[in-house]
Amino acid sequence: MKVSEMLLPTLRETPAEAEIVSHQLMVRAGYIRKAAAGVYTFLPLAWRVVKKIEAIVREEMDREGGQEIMMPIIQPAELWQESGRWNVYGPELFRLKDRHGRDFCLGPTHEEIITDLVRGEVSSYKQLPLLLYQVQNKYRDERRPRFGLMRGREFIMKDLYSFDRDEEGLEVSYRKMYNAYSRIFKRCGLKFRPVEADSGAIGGNDTHEFMVLADSGEALVVYCPKDSCGYAANVERADSPPDINGREEARPVESMDTPGMRTVDEVTSFLKISPKKLIKTLIYSTDRGMVAALVRGDRDVNEIKLMKVVSAINIELASPEEVLEITGVQPGFAGPVGLSGVMVVADPEVEAISNAVSGSNKKDTHLVNVNPGRDFRFDRVADIRMVRAGDHCPQCGAALVEAKGIEVGQVFKLGTKYSKVLEATYLDEKGQSRPIVMGCYGIGVTRTMAAAIEQNHDENGIIWPASIAPFQVVVVLVSVKDSDQAGMAEKVYRMLNGAGIETVIDDRNERPGVKFKDADLVGYPVRVTVGSKAVASGEVELRLRTGGDTEMVPVSELVSRISRILDDERVAFE
């Protein structure tokens, strides 16, 4: 391919709306253009990257016995109503009606469709296990589409669904996909970490997210630094042993004036106490009723954990008016003592606290020497705190480390969540009907492309791993008016392509500096420059995008040298 014939509209200025590096560089380097908020057109170079990622995904899915199918994007509401998710999924679900007034949605995921398919085609244990997958566009009506391909309303995803006879079979399928995902992201040249996670709207039991580590990541993960341990989890899912000190002898409760002191910092500074001695009381509104969550003053409530403890589907902080109605006071002075008409959930660190400070449910007043059990009740004791760096690893006790991550894939053990409600069953060896045991496994193809850029770039542009680069080599012709240079550049270009090395030639009538800048911006792994020195010496300049190292290589040795470079990178990531 010649650059002069390509649709490659590079830009020198960074678009104002692009907030993160991948979005900025994909627009500047001519990879994507915006059609609407969260909806993008993929230009030729971007589509080549997408196809390469998809090829890696397909190879690894097929390797594990996956069978590719294609399911409809438009899904009938009846299936979602049958599963119970039509109203639960929320406003992210694109809903539409056909000309007859029947309800449909654009598929954000395909659990209902695939389960309906299998329940109609599978009846015997002899037909299981099954691994069925597709690579397809998905649609989610994000409230605030942003970050380019990171959080869009239309995106490309691979989703595979496993169907097994029992939990043991599911474990085999789950492990296959876990290992396949690890190989996929290695082959894509990414630094990643599988972490324990929450299943969210998909539902199910065990689940892991595959996080590409990058400073721009929206997710926060904690992990054990010990290689021998391997514990890692999204902070929404992370566990850690409670930090509990020895009991003190209980002292009488006293009321203290705390005029205008609402925040943890204000109260603890005023009373000269550690935040660990403060009980923080947060009131939540849920579909299961009002809930008071109690954590230590130095902790934050993990709303995902709290939601599961109270079996709620929706949860949000109560409004000031709701807090006033329940506690008799505005937020900032709420406390557990004398609190009634609300479910009280206490973190184990609160249950173990002695002589604590809490709100008094009276304006400008706090209580000191508050002791759980003696001075207030709680309905549940459960881990509802957010784990943070420095907390102890639940497996080995080492201090946990924090990192930001971009979720590019997730694997779920669904169990019988969908097969039971949709009546997807099979007959076992004894002729008894049993629900099929399911798993769900997704990879964000377009998000993986963006995550690769977030992890591989510099001030000059993208640095693609060779395995997913749109082209592996760019041959830069310094002067198109010099017939000797043009002839040599054409020879090198054809020689590399003939050897199976994906090569593009920049034959535009532009200054060399413009071509070099575009080569760095686009992110070709290898640049070969053909100028007057190359014609005179028979050697071309070879420059690696990673690190910027250059060397002079005889044309006769160029194929073998570039092949070694590409092979070395491939081996490093496999």
How is residue 366 written in tokens? 């706090």
Residue 250: exposure state from Cβ atoms within 10 A (0-12, 13-18, ≥19): middle
Structural domain harbouring 288: 254-378
C-alpha distances (whole Å) from 210 to each of 35, 186, 197 are 29, 11, 9
Same domain flag for 152 and 283: no
Q: Is 427 found in the same domain as 372?
A: no
Question: Which of 346, 378, 410 delimits the end of a domain?
Answer: 378
Q: Does a structural domain hold residue 301?
A: yes
CATH code of residue 345: 3.90.960.10
In a domain, 538, yes or no: yes
Q: Kindly state whether residues 77 and 193 are assigned to the same domain.
A: yes
Is 179 found in the same domain as 54?
A: yes
Tokens 């998000």 appear where? 447
Per DSSP, the three-state class of 278 is: strand
Give residue 199's pLDDT: 60
The answer to whether residue 10 is domain-embedded is no
Q: What angle do CA 442, 51, 159 make, to 5 degrees?
A: 15
Q: How far apart are CA 232 and CA 303, in angstroms?
A: 19
Q: Domain with 98 in it: what CATH number?
A: 3.30.930.10
CB 211 within 8 A of CB 183: no
Whether residue 76 is contained in a domain is answered as yes
Residue 180 lies in a domain: yes
Whether 178 and 264 share a structural domain: no
Residues of the chain where predicted confidence (pLDDT) is lower than 50: 202-203
pLDDT at residue 206, rounded to an integer: 77
**Integer Cα distance of 296 and 182 in angstroms:** 38
Q: Are residues 441 and 475 in the same domain?
A: no
The Cα–Cα gap between 122 and 37 comes to 41
Helices then strands, each counted (H, E), the chain: 15, 31
Find, among 443, 492, 516, the residue nearest to 212 by Cα. 443
**Structural domain includes residue 249:** no
Number of structural domains the chain divides into = 3
Query: Could you give the CA distance from residue 304 to residue 149 in angstroms, rounded to a whole number?
Result: 26
Residue 284 lies in a domain: yes
CB 363 within 8 A of CB 329: yes
Do 303 and 439 lie in one domain? The reply is no
> Residues 106, 203: one domain?
yes
Check if the beta carbon of residue 419 is closer than 8 Å to that of residue 128: no
Q: Is the same domain home to 411 and 517?
A: no
Is position 335 within any domain?
A: yes
Nearest Cα to Cα of residue 289 among 324, 314, 320: 314
The pLDDT of residue 15 = 86
pLDDT of residue 197: 83
| pLDDT computed for residue 123 by the predictor | 97
**Does 524 lie in the same domain as 417?**
no
Secondary element (H or E) of residue 467: none
The domain boundary residue, chosen from 344, 378, 412 = 378
My answer on whether 427 and 347 are in the same domain is no
- Whether residues 530 and 492 share a domain: the answer is yes
Query: What pLDDT does residue 205 have?
Result: 58
Measure the CA–CA gap between 456 and 288, rounded to whole angstroms.
45
Distance CA 69, CA 53 (A): 18
Q: How far apart are CA 257 and CA 328, in angstroms?
A: 17
First to last CA, the chain: 29
pTM (two decimals):
0.87
In Å, the largest CA–CA distance within the chain is 96
Instruction: Provide the pLDDT for residue 200.
Output: 58
The identity of residue 325, as a single letter, is E
Which CATH number is 478's domain given? 3.40.50.800
**Domain end (from 345, 378, 411):** 378
Percentage of the chain surpassing pLDDT 70?
99
> What pLDDT, in 10s, does the model give residues 80-109?
999 999 988 889 999 999 999 999 999 999
CB-based burial, 96-123: b 16+ in 10 Å, e otherwise: eeeeeeeebbbbbbbbbbbbbbbbeebe
